[in-house]
């Protein structure tokens, strides 16, 4: 049995000016929870992940394209991306903070 853990999210204002930084918060049995701090993107970024992903935007803003639909995200918005779903991150604002949950089957 694993011991209980706790922590605090890093503030969005600590994000890089450009790109993103990932922090693993917890992980166990095919499940991983991360905080992602995003700055502005230099160019859109394409993804197709091998695991399911649920992403919650905590602060800032972002724009994502999934199946030709453009999704504008603000604080409190979330998106579910089943494994293998191609998606493109079109824009992030400096100071954007995400919490993501990844599940590998």
pLDDT for 36-76, tens place per residue?
999 999 899 999 999 999 999 999 999 999 999 999 999 99
Is it the case that residue 104 has pLDDT exceeding 70? yes
32 close to 23: Cβ distance less than 8 angstroms: no
Q: Binning pLDDT at 50, 70 and 90, where does residue 19 land? A: very high
Sequence ranges of the domains in the chain: 15-103
Is it the case that residue 1 has pLDDT exceeding 60? no
The answer for residues whose C-beta is within 8 angstroms of residue 70's C-beta and 6 or more apart is 63, 64, 90
Is it the case that residue 4 has pLDDT exceeding 90? no
List 102's β-bridge partners, or say none. Answer: 32, 53
User: Which has more pLDDT, 99 or 49?
Assistant: 99
List 56's β-bridge partners, or say none. Answer: 78, 99
pLDDT in tens, 65-87: 999 999 999 999 999 999 999 99
Percent composition of the chain: helix, strand, coil (DSSP 3-state, to 5): 5, 55, 40
User: Which has more pLDDT, 2 or 34?
Assistant: 34
Cα separation, 31 vs 33, whole angstroms = 7
Q: Binning pLDDT at 50, 70 and 90, where does residue 105 land? A: confident
**Architecture label for domain 15-103:** Sandwich (2.60)
φ, ψ dihedrals at 44, nearest 5°: -55, 150
């Amino acid at each position: 049995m694993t011991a209980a853990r706790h922590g605090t999210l890093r503030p969005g204002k600590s994000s890089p000016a450009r790109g993103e930084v990932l922090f693993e918060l917890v992980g166990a049995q095919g499940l991983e929870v991360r905080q992602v701090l995003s700055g502005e993107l230099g160019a859109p970024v394409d993804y197709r992940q091998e695991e399911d992903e649920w992403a919650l935007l905590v602060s800032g803003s972002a724009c994502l394209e999934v199946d030709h639909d453009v999704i504008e995200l603000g604080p409190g918005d979330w998106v579910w991306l089943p494994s293998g779903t191609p998606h493109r991150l079109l824009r992030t604002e400096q100071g954007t903070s995400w919490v993501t949950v990844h599940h590998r089957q």
